[in-house]
Amino acid sequence: QDDVSLNGYKKHLISQSSPAPLTAAEEELRQIKINEVQADVGVDTKHQTLQGVAFPIAKEVIQALEKLKNKKLNYQIDMKNETIILANTLDTELKDLPKRVPKDAARYHFFLYKHTHEGDYLESIKYIYGLISVVVFFSCSFHLLYTCSIRERMLYSSCKSPLLEIVETQLWMQIVRKIEIDYGDELTADFLYEEVHPKQHAYKQSFAKPKGPAGKRGIRRLIRGPAETETPSD
């Protein structure tokens, strides 16, 4: 009887208009986004920022970054202690770079890209998801969506911008290219070269069309009709 009363009907309407309950994964994702509220970035302490989470960076990471002119490095997040730590500083040639990208975890990679461009020898440091010019890579394979927790994926994505801000503003390193990849096999010589030196599309000048006659139909002309051209007979 309570269900068919006015009060019960109102409760039913409220229940119908309420949002569906979140799953555990959705609730975790919502909480991570809520925590990204402050706007401060530092090396030694943890901060939430408007663009992401700035985890403290281990001292060996800072020291390794300062030696980056002759090193190839990658970094990982210590999920337990919420700190960005150094993964390895293995000497890596371009042909071996794909092997440094793990298939079972996300990573940040800083790479000193040594190459020749238009006859000049260059050393560009790249950051992949890459005053020194660096290429940075951030790697996270599609299949990691099923092996990594939502928290891990979110933290790697959220920590990226604060980490790069520290590298650029406090360590005075110029990031010439930032790339997000799914698999290490993408890091070929041609791929990196095109990323650092994209082809300039030649501009094709189109010739101006000659102007047509004035007005849509040209200048009006007086044309006599057949009746006007006939000569009257005697």
In a domain? residue 82 = yes
In a domain? residue 204 = no
pTM above 0.85, yes or no: no
How many domains does the structure of the chain reveal? 1
In a domain? residue 174 = yes
Return the amino acid letter for 75: Y
29 and 149 Cβ atoms separated by less than 8 Å: no
CATH number, residue 76: 3.40.20.10
Read off the tokens for 168. Answer: 């650029």
What pLDDT is attached to residue 45?
Answer: 45
In a domain? residue 66 = yes
H/E stretch holding 194 reads: helix 189-196
Grouped pLDDT means (10 residues each) for the chain, 234 residues: 65 67 66 51 44 68 66 62 76 82 79 73 51 52 54 78 82 78 82 82 53 55 54 54
In a domain? residue 6 = no
| 11 Cβ contact partners less than 8 Å away, ≥ 6 residues apart | none
Return the amino acid letter for 176: V
In a domain? residue 122 = yes
166 and 80 Cβ atoms separated by less than 8 Å: no
Which range of residues forms the domain containing residue 84?
Answer: 22-199
Residue 221: strand, helix, or coil: coil
Residue holding tokens 């041609």? Answer: 190
Alpha carbons within 13 A on the beta-carbon side of 199: 5
